[in-house]
Amino acid sequence: MKAQSWKIGIVVLYGIAAIAAVAAVAPPSANKAEARLAELAAAVLSADYRGDRAELARLDAELGRLEAGSLSDYRDYWRGFALWRRAMNGFNETPAPADLDADLVAALERFRSALARHPDWDEVKSAMLGCWGNRIYLAGTDTEKRKKLFEESGDFYKWVMAYEGDNPRVLWIKGGLQMVVPPSAGGDWTKAAATLRKGVTAAWREASAATPPLPWAPAWGGAENLMNLAYLHSHLPTPERDVALAYAEGALTKAPQWHFVKDIQLPMIEALPVKADAASAAP
């Protein structure tokens, strides 16, 4: 990619990423449970981006004490999300914590509870598949455990790989899977890039909609799709350093606190070789 092209791309990405998600503040008419759920949902997202595993465990327990009434499905979603992301953040630690699989098992339980109240909820189905994917990875060479997990998640996997909608969170899961599964199972990095770019556009559209999401509804996904695009372009056979850098910096514009991108992914991308043509064209 020519230097001028990727610089223009950065400007475009920053414009997309700078569309802020609606602040998780309940409207004045909300009751106390709604206001508290909105507050806790925002706190879970913040703790996730900061990589604060202790806080995520605390917030799961705090949500569990919340009498959410008709919003119990959202309460259980955020409980599952907190434990799912607690496990995902644990993958960044060395040595890896011993409780990753336990967190994922508990997250699946929370998500199942939400799904029982809100059947066919795309948010939960895609998150559950994310948990199963993490558990399959942790199973390593345990063939029987991996087989069982593949069987449990099979219907959800088929659903997400056939998904043609525009939910940025579902597209993040689909694009991530397309990066790692073999072509025989639907994997393809070109398809993954297209899916993730669609996720970025969908997140922009969601954040700029005339009617914003409810403050306790899931509205993340823009930064996550940008992060996966940064990973993809930095891991090509011939890495595209400048493109990956643009996507990673776009993710940080959207989520400035994101420990993984800021402290782990971005330095890895910056360490990639600079192409000679880009270096000579730089001002």
Q: Give tens-digit pLDDT for 148-200.
A: 999 999 999 999 999 999 999 999 999 999 999 988 888 899 999 999 999 99
What the block records as the tokens of 176 is 């991530």
Alpha-carbon span 233 to 193, nearest angstrom: 9
| Tens-place pLDDT, residues 35-57 | 999 999 999 999 999 999 999 99
pLDDT at 283 over 50: no
Can you say how many angstroms the Cα of residue 62 is from the centroid of all Cα atoms in its chain? 22
Tens of pLDDT along 255-272? 999 999 999 999 999 999
**What percentage of the chain carries pLDDT values higher than 70?**
87
Average pLDDT, the chain: 89
User: The pTM is what?
Assistant: 0.89
* Ramachandran angles phi, psi of 178, nearest 5°: -60, -25
What is the model's pLDDT at position 34?
Answer: 94
* No. of helices (H) and no. of strands (E), the chain: 14, 0
**For the chain, how far is it from start to end, CA to CA, in angstroms?**
16
